[in-house]
C-alpha cells in the first residue's frame, strides 16, 4: 500500500492511495484535468480510480468532486454534513455514500478505511486511515484546529503519517491576513501550526512508522524549510517529507523503502 500526494494546501488537496489493485482519491481539491495530469505522473489514470473520499466541504478539498461524481460517475464518500455543505448531487444523479466518524469502509479487495471526526470549522469534517489486508496503515490528517485525542488515537503508529503543518505562528501573526482570518486559523477549529504538529508527532510516531509527511503548508504563513526543520527536530533524524502545493510527491509506501515504490 502506498500514497502519493498530488497537491497539498489551499490551492488544492488531493492524494492517491493504492493498495493492490484498488486506487482511491483522498479529497478532490484539484480540477478534473489537474487530477488526471498528476495521476498520470504517478503512472495512473482516472480510469484506475475506484472511489473518492472527502474530508470536508472547503473548496480546496472539493473543487473537483462534482466532476468526479457526475462526469466520471465515481462513488464519493462523504459525511452527511459535507455532502450537504458541498452541495453534492442527490442519489438519483450520483453515487454518494454517506459515512460518519467511527465508520469502517471497505473498498475493493484490499483497502480498509477508518473514518474519524476532526476538529475543524467544516460542517462535519473527518480524516481517514487506510489499512491494507495485512494491517499496515496510512493515516492522513489535515485541517485540524488542534490534535484531538480521537485523531491522535486514529493515526498513532501508522506506517505512513501525513499531518498538517499549516503555519508558523509568528509568520501568521505578522503576516498579511486580516485579524478575523488569523483568529480563525489559530482557533481550536482552524489549522495546525508547525509547532503543534511537531509536538503532536512525538506521541504519534512509533517503531512501526516509516515516513512522516508535512501537509497543507501555507504559502503565506509558512515555508517548506520551517516545516521541514520543526518536523526534523521533532523526529530526531527520522525521514520526513514536505508535500508541495502544486507538484505530486513520489509514492510513499508502508513497507521498507523501495519495496513498493516504483512498482
Ligand atoms: Zn484545507
Ligand atoms: Zn478546511
What does the pLDDT read at residue 233? 83
Q: How far is the CA of 9 from the centre of ligand 2 (A)?
A: 10
Residue 249 CA: distances (Å) to CA of 15, 118, 149, 220, 241: 9, 24, 28, 21, 9
Q: What CA–CA distance (Å, rounded) separates 119 from 125?
A: 7
Kindly report the backbone phi and psi dihedral angles of residue 117, in degrees, each rounded to the nearest multiple of 5, phi listed first. -65, 145
Q: What CA–CA distance (Å, rounded) separates 197 from 156?
A: 13
Q: How far is the CA of 260 from the centre of ligand 2 (A)?
A: 31
Q: How far is the CA of 10 from the centre of ligand 1 (A)?
A: 6
Ion ligand 1: residues, Cβ under 5 Å? 60, 143
Q: What CA–CA distance (Å, rounded) separates 10 from 37?
A: 19
Strand, coil or helix: 237: coil
- Helix spans in 167-252 (H): 169-174, 179-186, 194-204, 224-235
How confident is the prediction along the chain (263 residues), in pLDDT tens digits per residue?
999 999 999 999 999 999 999 999 999 999 999 999 999 999 999 999 999 999 999 999 999 999 999 999 999 999 999 999 999 998 889 999 999 999 999 999 989 999 999 999 999 999 999 999 899 999 999 999 999 999 999 999 999 999 999 999 999 999 999 999 999 999 999 999 999 999 999 999 999 999 999 999 999 999 999 999 988 888 866 667 889 888 999 999 998 544 433 32
pLDDT digits (tens, 9 = 90+) for 4-17: 999 999 999 999 99
What's the grid cell of residue 135?
494491517
What does the pLDDT read at residue 258? 40
Name, in order, each residue with C-beta under 8 angstroms of 258's C-beta and a sequence gap of 6 or more: none
Which ligand does the CA of 123 lie closest to?
A: 2
Q: How far is the CA of 27 from the centre of ligand 1 (A)?
A: 10
Question: Residues 98, 79: contact at Cβ < 8 Å?
Answer: yes
Strand, coil or helix: 140: strand
What does the pLDDT read at residue 239? 67
Q: What CA–CA distance (Å, rounded) separates 225 from 65?
A: 31
Which ligand does the CA of 122 lie closest to?
A: 2
Question: Residues 70, 90: contact at Cβ < 8 Å?
Answer: no
Amino acid at each position: 500500500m502506498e500514497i502519493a500526494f498530488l497537491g497539498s494546501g489551499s490551492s488544492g488537496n488531493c492524494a492517491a492511495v493504492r493498495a493492490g489493485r484498488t486506487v482511491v482519491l483522498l479529497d478532490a481539491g484539484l480540477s478534473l484535468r489537474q487530477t488526471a495530469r498528476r495521476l498520470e505522473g504517478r503512472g495512473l489514470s482516472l480510469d484506475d480510480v475506484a472511489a473518492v473520499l472527502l474530508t470536508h466541504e472547503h473548496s480546496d478539498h472539493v473543487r473537483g468532486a462534482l466532476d468526479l461524481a457526475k462526469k466520471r460517475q465515481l462513488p464519493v464518500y462523504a459525511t452527511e454534513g459535507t455532502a450537504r455543505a458541498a452541495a453534492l448531487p442527490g442519489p438519483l444523479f450520483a453515487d454518494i455514500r454517506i459515512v460518519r466518524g467511527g465508520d469502517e469502509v471497505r473498498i475493493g479487495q484490499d483497502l480498509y478505511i477508518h473514518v474519524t471526526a476532526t476538529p475543524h470549522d467544516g460542517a462535519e469534517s473527518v480524516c481517514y486511515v487506510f489499512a491494507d489486508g495485512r494491517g499496515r496503515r496510512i493515516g492522513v490528517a489535515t485541517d485540524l484546529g488542534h490534535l484531538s485525542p480521537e485523531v491522535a488515537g486514529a493515526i498513532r503508529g501508522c506506517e505512513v503519517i501525513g499531518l498538517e503543518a499549516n503555519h508558523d505562528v509568528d509568520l501568521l501573526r505578522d503576516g498579511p491576513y486580516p485579524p478575523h482570518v488569523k483568529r480563525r486559523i489559530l482557533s481550536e477549529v482552524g489549522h495546525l501550526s508547525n509547532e503543534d504538529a511537531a509536538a503532536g508527532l512525538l506521541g504519534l510516531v512509533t517503531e512501526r512508522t516509516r515516513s512522516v509527511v508535512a501537509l497543507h503548508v501555507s504559502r503565506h504563513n509558512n515555508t517548506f524549510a520551517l516545516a521541514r526543520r520543526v518536523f526534523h527536530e521533532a523526529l530526531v533524524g527520522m525521514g520526513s517529507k514536505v508535500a508541495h502545493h502544486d507538484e505530486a510527491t513520489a509514492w510513499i509506501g508502508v513497507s521498507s523503502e523501495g519495496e513498493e515504490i516504483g512498482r
